[in-house]
Homo-oligomer: A and B are copies of this chain.
Amino acid sequence: MNAKNEHDLSLTRRRLLGTVGAAGATGLALGGTGGALGQSAAQDEPPTALATVGSTEVAFHGKHQPGITTPLQAHGHLVAFDLASGAGRKEAAALLRRWSRTASALMAGDPAPDGHSGVALDAGPSSLTVTFGFGRGFFSRTGLTAQRPEALAPLPQFSRDALDEKRSNGDLWVQIGADDGLVAFHALRAVQRDAAGTARVRWQMNGFNRAVGATPHPKTMRNLMGQVDGTNNPKPSDSDFDKRVFVPPGGPPGWMEDGSYAVFRRIRMLLDNWDEQSLAQQEKVIGRRKSDGAPLSGGTETTAVNMEKRKADGGLAIAADAHVRVTAPDTNGGAAMLRRSFSYHDGFRDDGSPDAGLLFVAWQADPLTGFVPVQRKLDSGDALSRFIRHEASALFAVPGGAGEGEYVGQRLLEG
């Protein structure tokens, strides 16, 4: 699944006492292969006291927007909006200004500026992050096509895609995460209220991750298939992390400096089919042991995968179509993206199967060197593809963080 096995769930649940700024967050140690430094730093960190779940605050202002390198939260909302007819650049600018003010207030644990406070009173910030992005349609509707990044070209159609257009794309995108469900919901409501008259909800989805403190510390997350998920995610301590994830100084385009591109895919897992497989079959599909995430070529979770390793019978230890092989950066020209997803579960479908899987969110400096080449390989040769369905898709340009007194997207909208 889109390099799913390597995805964001590696973000450890380490919490800092006090404010974690967007810049400071890049210093967080993320669990993962090869990141001996990061890994051990995380292990040295004592478990955070329970009392800080509510009081942990992420800074809204900074070089990058929050919610990209921020440790994964337990609750997430993704929501896309389309601009209302009649709403243009001026109205969009006013909306981004409102949204930025709301995000800044709520992330600090203050009431929503529109006066509709109280829903999450006395909750504390609870690691809330609110992240804003622009879809391709935004630029034509606001007369800003000249500013539209080349990187926002529509994603290619993949042969296995079964996309629902109504739950795909959108002019504007907001990603909300928090460790408390009420704080996250309150932020979603505030964002929706701010949009009234200017933009209407196109689609909205809810996700979750492990609770803070629910797993031994630090431990890579598991997805709904039970697989350890996120071992090989890029780490902020990697020398090429910024180059892979963030748009470099100057762009192009200039207004995207320090920004990133978010690929969203709603990936339903065919869990009934998956559960019918034996443990050995499941592990062969992934290329890692289910119990601890160690590659089938040997070692522990963080041991580098040995793609050439042979079993006693002469066969490859890591099958030719194993997910871990197809997604390996060195078989994709070094492509790597920061995967930071939420699991979802929307009940059961009419056929009795669970409507559940992954709200996959991947961050990269350029989708054409990040998501696209990896997904192209997965689309044709990934053993995991029999057990998943890509049901929705979107691509958003997520500008850099707002400085003090600035709003997100100001450099585009007033540039």
Listed in ascending order, the chain A residues whose CB lies under 8 Å from chain B are 15, 47-54, 74-75, 116-124, 126, 179-183, 185-186, 188-189, 192-193, 200-201, 204-206, 208-217, 219, 222, 224-226, 271, 275, 279, 290-291, 343, 345-348, 352, 354, 356
Given contacts A222-B120, A275-B193, contact A214 B352 (CB under 8 A): no
Nearest opposing residue in chain B for A114, CB measure: B275
Nearest opposing residue in chain B for A125, CB measure: B214
Contact in complex: A53, B50 (CB < 8 Å): yes
Given contacts A214-B183, A275-B193, A354-B189, contact A226 B121 (CB under 8 A): yes
Nearest opposing residue in chain B for A208, CB measure: B181
- Copies held by the complex: 2
Contact in complex: B47, A211 (CB < 8 Å): no
User: Contacts of A120 on B, CB cut-off 8 Å?
Assistant: 222, 226
Q: Which 5 A-B pairs have the closest CB atoms?
A: A53-B213, A118-B226, A180-B214, A50-B213, A119-B226
Contact in complex: B343, A205 (CB < 8 Å): no
A212 vs chain B, min Cβ distance (A):
6
A and B contact pairs by CB, cutoff 8 A, 14 listed: A47-B49, A50-B52, A54-B213, A54-B216, A118-B279, A122-B219, A126-B211, A181-B209, A181-B343, A182-B208, A188-B345, A200-B352, A205-B347, A212-B213
Please pick, from B189, B201, B204, B348, the residue contacting A204 in the complex, using a CB distance under 8 A: B348
User: Contacts of A53 on B, CB cut-off 8 Å?
Assistant: 50, 211-214
A356 vs chain B, min Cβ distance (A):
7
Please pick, from B180, B226, B275, the residue contacting A210 in the complex, using a CB distance under 8 A: B180
**Residue of A183, A347, A352 with highest tally of chain B CB at under 10 A:** A347
Cα A47 to Cα B118 in complex, Å, equals 24
User: Contacts of A345 on B, CB cut-off 8 Å?
Assistant: 185, 188, 206
User: Contacts of A205 on B, CB cut-off 8 Å?
Assistant: 347
Cα A47 to Cα B52 in complex, Å, equals 10
User: Contacts of A182 on B, CB cut-off 8 Å?
Assistant: 208-210, 214, 222, 224, 343
**Residue of A47, A53, A75, A126 with highest tally of chain B CB at under 10 A:** A53
User: Contacts of A118 on B, CB cut-off 8 Å?
Assistant: 222, 226, 279, 290-291
A153 vs chain B, min Cβ distance (A):
29
Contact in complex: A121, B291 (CB < 8 Å): yes
A202 vs chain B, min Cβ distance (A):
10
Contact in complex: A211, B214 (CB < 8 Å): no
Nearest opposing residue in chain B for A207, CB measure: B181
Please pick, from B180, B214, B224, B279, the residue contacting A119 in the complex, using a CB distance under 8 A: B224
A93 vs chain B, min Cβ distance (A):
23
Please pick, from B185, B213, B225, the residue contacting A51 in the complex, using a CB distance under 8 A: B213
Nearest opposing residue in chain B for A354, CB measure: B189
Contact in complex: B48, A119 (CB < 8 Å): no
**Residue of A214, A217, A224, A343 with highest tally of chain B CB at under 10 A:** A214
Please pick, from B121, B185, B219, B291, the residue contacting A356 in the complex, using a CB distance under 8 A: B185
